[in-house]
Structure 1
Amino acid sequence: MNRIDVLSVPVSDQQRAKEFYLKMGLHIVVEAPFQGDQLWIQMGFPKGETTITLVTWFPKMPAGSLQAAVINTDDIAGDIKKLTANGIEVGKIDDTPWGKFASIEDPDGNTWSLNQKNA
């Protein structure tokens, strides 16, 4: 095994979620028909290999149930400034012995944690 390739993010409205994640700086990898009237929307981070897909079809993964997935950053303060400029609310920076963290919540309540590791 090598790495996580795709992480499913449970959302209630794929288009609304896509717009949010575009504001976060992700890009569209694939947007295509999937399983009848569903869409496969896969998005990637600017510097990352792992992608996310915006899902509505897993009954055991209701919208908003993804909590505290960690996004690595080299410049947490700079990223927070960009996110805030794009209208995304970011929590305060929590400085821990193992790095700095700040939380982001998408429109469905899925939470992400920006993390800048200590040098």
Structure 2
Amino acid sequence: MKFMSVVSVPVSDQNQAKDFYVDRLGLSVITESSFGDDLRWIQLGIPGAQTSLTLVTWFDEMPPGSLRGLVIDCEDLEKEYQTLTERGVVFLGPPSRQPGGIFAILRDPDGNQIGLRQADS
């Protein structure tokens, strides 16, 4: 194995989720296409990262809002927190020091929780 390439994010509305992840979080659309019976593949990338996200609606075992534990590294978490808060991103609280670095947990429109982390230097 080489690296993790795609993480599925369970959402209820792919258009709303895409707007959030692109317009508010600053991710970019890598691929957007239709497949199967009325299904869409929307794959989003984080600048400079190998791993991407796909916004999924088709996994019964992954209801919208059930994602926990995904962590995205940041160089300057305080700056990211301030910028994203100004864009209307909802956080569970301000950045705080935890084992492994400084973390702030955000919520997407479905309630998925994504951690932002600044590693200890």
In the TM superposition, structure 1's runs of 4+ consecutive aligned residues that sit over 4 Å from their partners are: none
Given the two structures, how large is their TM-score scaled by the length of structure 2? 0.94
Q: What are structure 2's unaligned runs of at least 5 residues?
A: none
Give distance in 2, aligned partners of 1:103 and 1:47. 21
Residue equivalent to 1:19: 19
Give distance in 2, aligned partners of 1:50 and 1:86. 24
The answer to whether structure 1 residue 59 and structure 2 residue 72 are counterparts is no
Residue equivalent to 2:103: 101
Q: Structure 1 counterpart of 2:14, which letter?
A: Q
**Residues 13 and 96 of structure 1, relative CA distance in 2, 3 Å threshold:** same
Given the two structures, how large is their TM-score scaled by the length of structure 1? 0.95
Give distance in 1, aligned partners of 2:120 and 2:35. 41
Give distance in 2, aligned partners of 1:98 and 1:36. 43
Q: Which moved more, 1:76-85 or 1:53-62?
A: 76-85
Give the CA RMSD over aligned residues.
Answer: 1.0
Q: Work out the number of aligned pairs and report it.
A: 119
